Amino acid sequence: WPEEGRGEDQRRRKGGSRRRRAARRAGSPRRDWPGEEREPQAPWAPDGLPHYPAPRQPPLPPIYAITPTYSRPVQKAELTRLANTFRQVARLHWVLVEDATRRSELVSRFVTRAGLPCTHLHIPTPRRYKRPGLPRATEQRNAGLAWLRQRHQHLPPPQPGVLFFADDDNTYSLELFEEMRTTRKVSVWPVGLVGGRWYERPVVENGKVVGWYTGWRADRPFAIDMAGFAVSLQVILSNPKAVFKRRGSQPGMQESDFLKQITTVEELEPKANNCTKVLVWHTRTEKVNLGNEPKYHLDTIKIEV
């Protein structure tokens, strides 16, 4: 009986080999026969050539945009324009900071419907600093910096990412975000419609910033607008005391006072084709005329504007 069983197995194996050889001669597609191992093969593209999957690319460095905002008739309109831009930028996290003692219902509803990653903070500006001629949005920008440092303080370096200060009265080209994403330390570029000129910009020679084309106080250490630079996240984390200062800071000097704490002019990285292209504009919405708004005979419904 054992001998008979082995003979039957041998006949099955020989028959299987004959069937495989016959199928190959006839041009039949190869099948996986029991007990037969096949070498791995590359998938085939429609053009008949082998297709190999592309190597996995590293994720894009995130961009953190800190935006101070305050209550005014055009606030929602400004934020809507900004959100429509940010929504088209990959891996952007919006840090929206209200100048208020608590989150307003208008901005809270707006953030819920914005359709992009957003952190909603609030901190009021002390009344003594709301006089004309004093720097604005200092507390709000510092609150955004504190949130960013707290979020990343327990994570090991290096931590890729870029920070920039996106005021809500500016207009941004999408190209600007691709330019700033490769920032190693501090990058700079021109800003349009600022300083009483068509534009202001860093002057670049041989790939290095050597001066400033500006219409106001060219003697500033960094004669640049708040919308004209970005900072590496690693630089922000490595300089935990770098903040916007109230004491001793003059209007128009906040950019210089902040950048002096983290970099030098020689280290600046020119972007936007060596600072020859304008990719952000300080547009500022026109002051709204509400002179015909009634005081007594109001509409029967209340509409958020």
Q: Which of 12, 138, 148, 1 is nearest to 68 (CA)?
A: 138
User: What is the radius of gyration, based on Cα positions, of the chain?
Assistant: 31
Kind of pairing between the strands at 280-281 and 171-172: antiparallel
Q: Which of 201, 72, 236, 70 is nearest to 138 (CA)?
A: 70
Residue 284 burial (C-beta neighbours within 10 Å; 0-12, 13-18, 19+): middle
* Rounded-to-5 percentages of helix, strand, coil across the chain: 30, 20, 50
Catalytic residues: 255
Q: Is 85 annotated as contributing to ligand binding?
A: no
pLDDT, position 125? 96
Cα-based distances in Å from 90 to 93, 176, 186: 9, 13, 21
Q: Is 120 annotated as contributing to ligand binding?
A: no
User: Which residue ranges form the domains of the chain, and what is each CATH number?
Assistant: 63-281 (3.90.550.10)
Q: Is 136 annotated as contributing to ligand binding?
A: yes
On whether the pTM is more than 0.75, the answer is yes
pLDDT, position 51? 64
Q: What is the largest CA-CA distance in the chain?
A: 111
Cα-based distances in Å from 27 to 23, 24, 36: 6, 5, 19
Q: Walk along the chain (305 residues) and give the pLDDT tens digit of each residue.
A: 444 444 555 555 555 566 666 655 555 555 444 444 455 555 655 666 666 676 777 889 999 999 999 999 999 999 999 999 999 999 999 999 999 999 999 999 999 999 999 999 999 999 999 888 888 899 999 999 999 999 998 888 888 999 999 999 999 999 999 999 999 999 999 999 998 999 999 999 999 999 999 988 889 999 999 999 999 999 999 999 999 998 877 778 999 999 999 999 999 999 999 999 999 999 988 788 888 878 777 888 888 88
pLDDT, position 225? 95
Q: Is 168 annotated as contributing to ligand binding?
A: yes
Measured distance CA(151)–CA(154) in Å, rounded: 8
Number of Cβ atoms within 10 Å of the Cβ of 74: 16
Q: Is 169 annotated as contributing to ligand binding?
A: yes
The secondary element (H helix, E strand) that includes residue 172 is strand 171-172
Measured distance CA(229)–CA(215) in Å, rounded: 18
pLDDT, position 3? 45
Q: Is 225 annotated as contributing to ligand binding?
A: no
